[in-house]
Amino acid sequence: MQLTGAATVEQALARLAELTPLVIVKRGAEGAIAGLDGGVVQVPAIPVEVVDTTGAGDCFNAGFLYGYLRGASLETCLRAGNICGGLSTRPSEAGPRPLRRPRSRNTCAAIPRVCRSHCGESEQHSPL
């Protein structure tokens, strides 16, 4: 909406549709809306536990393009985008893995960068 100065997403979509035949607006937790050849399609987001949205837009694009390049309907393309984007924000199956303090000084010698950031020591340790 900032790009077009429109008050609503629908108005922004209409203004952008004057410039290009296909317009897609990703709306995060509200799903996505797209306009193509005068028609408008809205698809809700999938319910997910969001942990990190980094890369979600890229994943949406990949899902959308997967459907689009295979000739799927606009609604199906948006759904594929929402699924890929939404699933990319979830925690991994194993869950987050915090980096723990190395178990031994031998480990610190093998990975000094980890040692410096987590043990607080700037030089490599000698084996115990």
Helix (H, G, I), strand (E, B) or coil at 26: strand
The active-site residue out of 30, 58, 75, 121 is 58
Q: How far apart are CA 74 and CA 68, in angstroms?
A: 7
The H-or-E segment that residue 12 falls in is helix 9-17
Question: What's CA 123's distance to the chain center, in Å?
Answer: 38
Question: Is 52 tagged catalytic?
Answer: no
Query: Closest Cα partner for 25 from 46, 7, 43, 51?
Result: 43
Q: Which residues are catalytic?
A: 58
